C-alpha cells in the first residue's frame, strides 16, 4: 500500500485503493494536507476533493514522553520512582525519603 504521508500524485491519478484510503483517513482524523502553489496546506476545513490537486495524510503526532521525578532522579515509571525512594530510605533512614514527593511529568507537544 502507498504511504499516505508521502503522496506526490494528483488525486485523480491515484489508484482507487489509495483514493479510498485517503478518504477514510480524512473521515477518521481530519488530518490531510493539500499541495497549493508549491506549499502543503491544511485541508481540514474543505471536505471536497479537487481531482487535479495533490493530497496527503499528515503523519501521526509523536506520543508525548512522561516520567516520574524524585528529587533530581528521573525514572521511567512511577513504580521505579517508588522503588528507588524506598531503597534510598532503607539505605539512609535519617533522610526521611518516604516523605519526598514524586512528581509526574508529561511532555507537552505542539
pLDDT of residue 51: 87
17 lies in the same domain as 49? yes
In eight-state DSSP terms, residue 60 is P
73 lies in the same domain as 93? yes
For the entire predicted model, the pTM comes to 0.55
* 3 assigned to some structural domain: no
* 5 assigned to some structural domain: no
* 1 assigned to some structural domain: no
What is the residue range of 41's domain?
A: 11-57
List per-block mean pLDDT (blocks of 10 residues) for the chain, which spans 110 residues.
88 92 81 86 74 87 81 84 87 80 80
Domain count, the chain: 2
70 lies in the same domain as 35? no
Amino acid at each position: 500500500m502507498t504511504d499516505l504521508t508521502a503522496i506526490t500524485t494528483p488525486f485523480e491519478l491515484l489508484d482507487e485503493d489509495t483514493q479510498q484510503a485517503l478518504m477514510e483517513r480524512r473521515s477518521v482524523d481530519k488530518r490531510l494536507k493539500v499541495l497549493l502553489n508549491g506549499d502543503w496546506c491544511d485541508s481540514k476545513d474543505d471536505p471536497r476533493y479537487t481531482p487535479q490537486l495533490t493530497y496527503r495524510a499528515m503523519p501521526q503526532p509523536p506520543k508525548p514522553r512522561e516520567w516520574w521525578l524524585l528529587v533530581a532522579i528521573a525514572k521511567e515509571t512511577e513504580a521505579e520512582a517508588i522503588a528507588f525512594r524506598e531503597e534510598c530510605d532503607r539505605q539512609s533512614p535519617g533522610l526521611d525519603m518516604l516523605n519526598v514527593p514524586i512528581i509526574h511529568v508529561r511532555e507537552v507537544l505542539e
